[in-house]
Each structure stands twice: as C-alpha cells, then as structure tokens.
C-alpha cells in the first residue's frame, strides 16, 4: 500500500506541474509584457511614439506566438499527463491483479509447504515403521530359526521317544499277556479253591436244610446262628461255625500264600422294623452279626486278613414277598469267597 501511495504521488504531480508551468508561462509573459512596456515607454521617450507602437506591435505578435506555443506545449503536456494517468490506472489494476495472484500463489505455496511437511513427516514415519518392521522381521527370522532348531531337536527326541515307546509297548504287551495269563491262572486257582471249599462244605452240611451253598455263596439262615433280634452266637451256631473253620483249615494248606483270597461275611435282615432292643435299625443289627461271625472265626484260627465283615441290612433281599417265609429267607448270613 505504501508503494502504491508513493507511485500515485509520483504520477499525480503532472497536473500540478502543468498548471504551475502554465502559470509560470503567464508570469513570464506578464514579466515580458511589463519589460516590453517598460522598454516601449523608454523607447518612446527615446524614439518617439510611432516607433514605440511599431515595436510594441511586433513584441505583442511575438508574445502571441510565444503564448500560442506555450498553450500547445501545455496541451501536449496535458495529453501526456492524461496518458500517464491512464497508464497509472491500468498499472494499479494490473498491480491489484498481480497482488491477488501473488496472494493465491503464496496460499498455494503455503499449502504446498504444509503438504511437503506432512509428506516429510509421513516419509519419516514410514521410514521409522519400515525400520521397525525390518527389525521385527529380523527378530522373527531369528525366532523362527530358533524354533526350527528346537523343532528339529524335538523331532529327534520324539523319534527317540517313539522308539522307546515302541519298545515299552512291546514290553507292556508282553507283561499284559503274562499278567492276563497269571490272572487267569489265579482265577482258575480261586475257582478251584472255592469249588473244593464249597464242595467240602456241601458234604459237611448236607443234612441241614438251613445251611446250603447257593451259587458262589455259603448261606446260613440267621436262626441257625442267632436268636431273634440278637447278635450273640447261639451254641448251635458256634458248632456250625466250628465245622466251617475246620473245613477252611483243611483246605488252607492247598491255598497259595500269594493268592488274595477273602471270605466276605455279609449280614442280611428282613424289612420288619426293630422296636426296642440294643440295635436302632436292621443295618446296625446286620453289621453286628457279620462282625460277630468274623470275630468267632478268628478265634477258631482263620487269619483275620482273610475275613471282611459287611452289614447289608434289609436292602438286598432274595425274596421280595411280604410274608413270614420270605422274611425268614431274607434273614441270613452269607459267606462269599472273593479276592482283593
């Protein structure tokens, strides 16, 4: 704006200059006129009136010529000033356009600079990310190499383990075959012992219908061993258990020491509830009777490790009928040969 004001002041001086020049010309004309008049007056005094008038006329003609030339020059100068003013206006308009274009160019340049900075930042970020990715790739490659080595080592170890497993599998199969064979032999021995044992007991108690072999069990009806609601062995019951212990002792010499034979003594009752007495329920009664039989057999020489008392209560009847005969059949002591 300052340059514009300086430019305008520089070009707007021409009209004033022209006016001043015109005024100067008029002053000069006036001075010349005064000078001429003075000269004419002096000349008139010296040369006479006619001579002075002729001179004045020539001077006036000369001054008129000078005035005409001055006016032409002033007109020419005014034309030049008008041309210059037109040029200055066009220049101002062009300057404004150039300034607008310059502003637009500067804005575009600022935008380009901003884009450039963003691009530089982006390039820096991309380079940093590329560096990070490169470092990560190197680490992953190193880790992959380590894992490959570990995998190779593991595969070798697995191969060794597979060989050991195959070898152990063969041993296990051999042991399993031997164990099955041994178990089969033990089962056969146990079955033979049970068969012999129950066969001898069947002979000993052949004339007693309340003592019999049922399947793999030797069954005493409870009335043979105990009084009603009692867990103390009767004298007749003790005599029958003596016979049982005698048969066991006779066959004990045939029993291999390592054969895990167990005589499980099970006490069973009927489902009639107990009212009064020392036992609050049939379960306690059946357990006490099984324990009493085991204690007596131990006193008769049966090893305690071969015996196991179990109270079954009323929950495993062999006859589900609701009558005295069914109740009598359900009240029993069962001896079952089993193994650990």
Q: Can you read off the two tokens belonging to residue 46?
A: 């010296």
What are the pLDDT tens digits along the chain (340 aa)?
555 445 544 556 666 667 777 777 777 777 787 777 777 676 666 666 666 567 777 877 877 777 777 778 777 877 776 776 777 678 778 788 888 888 887 888 888 888 778 877 776 777 787 788 888 888 888 888 888 888 888 888 888 888 888 888 888 888 878 777 776 666 666 677 677 777 888 888 888 888 888 888 889 999 999 998 899 999 999 999 999 999 988 888 776 677 778 899 999 999 999 887 789 999 999 999 999 999 999 999 999 999 999 999 999 999 999 999 999 999 999 999 887 7
pLDDT for the residue 43 = 65
Rounded distance between C-alpha atoms, residue 57 and residue 73, angstroms = 24
Tell which residue, 34, 89, 88, 86, has the closest CA to residue 63.
34
Query: CB atoms < 10 A from the CB of 248, how many?
Result: 21
pLDDT for the residue 22 = 75
User: What domains are defined for the chain?
Assistant: 2-117 (no CATH), 205-339 (3.30.1330.60)
With contact defined as beta carbons under 8 Å apart, do 261 and 313 qualify? no
């Amino acid at each position: 704006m300052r340059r514009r004001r300086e430019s305008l002041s520089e070009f707007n001086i021409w009209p004033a200059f022209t006016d001043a020049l015109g005024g100067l010309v008029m002053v000069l004309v006036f001075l010349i006129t005064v000078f001429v008049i003075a000269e004419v007056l002096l000349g008139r005094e010296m040369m006479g009136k006619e001579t002075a008038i002729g001179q004045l006329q020539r001077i006036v003609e000369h001054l008129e010529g000078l005035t005409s030339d001055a006016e032409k020059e002033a007109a020419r100068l005014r034309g030049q000033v008008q041309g210059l003013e037109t040029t200055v206006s066009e220049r101002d308009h062009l300057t404004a356009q150039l300034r607008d274009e310059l502003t637009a160019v500067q804005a575009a340049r600022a935008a380009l600079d901003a884009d450039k900075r963003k691009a530089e930042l982006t390039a820096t970020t991309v380079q940093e990310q590329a560096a990070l990715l490169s470092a990560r790739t190197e680490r992953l490659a190193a880790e992959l190499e380590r894992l490959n080595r570990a995998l190779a080592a593991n595969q070798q170890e697995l191969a060794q383990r597979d060989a050991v497993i195959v070898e152990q599998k063969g041993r296990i199969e051999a042991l399993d075959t031997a164990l099955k064979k041994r178990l089969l032999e033990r089962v056969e021995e146990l079955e033979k012992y049970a068969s012999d044992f129950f066969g001898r007991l069947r002979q000993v108690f052949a004339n007693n219908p309340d003592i019999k072999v049922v399947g793999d069990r030797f069954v005493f009806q409870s009335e043979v061993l105990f009084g009603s609601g009692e867990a103390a062995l009767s004298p007749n019951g003790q005599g029958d258990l003596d016979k049982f212990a005698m048969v066991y002792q006779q066959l004990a010499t045939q029993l291999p020491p390592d054969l895990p034979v167990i005589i499980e003594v099970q006490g069973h009752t009927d489902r009639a509830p107990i009212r009064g007495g020392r036992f609050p329920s049939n379960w306690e009664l059946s357990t006490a009777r099984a324990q009493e039989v085991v204690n007596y057999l131990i006193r008769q020489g049966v090893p305690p490790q071969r015996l196991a008392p179990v109270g079954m209560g009323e929950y495993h009847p062999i006859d589900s009928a609701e009558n005295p005969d069914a109740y009598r059949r359900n009240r029993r002591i069962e001896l079952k040969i089993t193994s650990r």
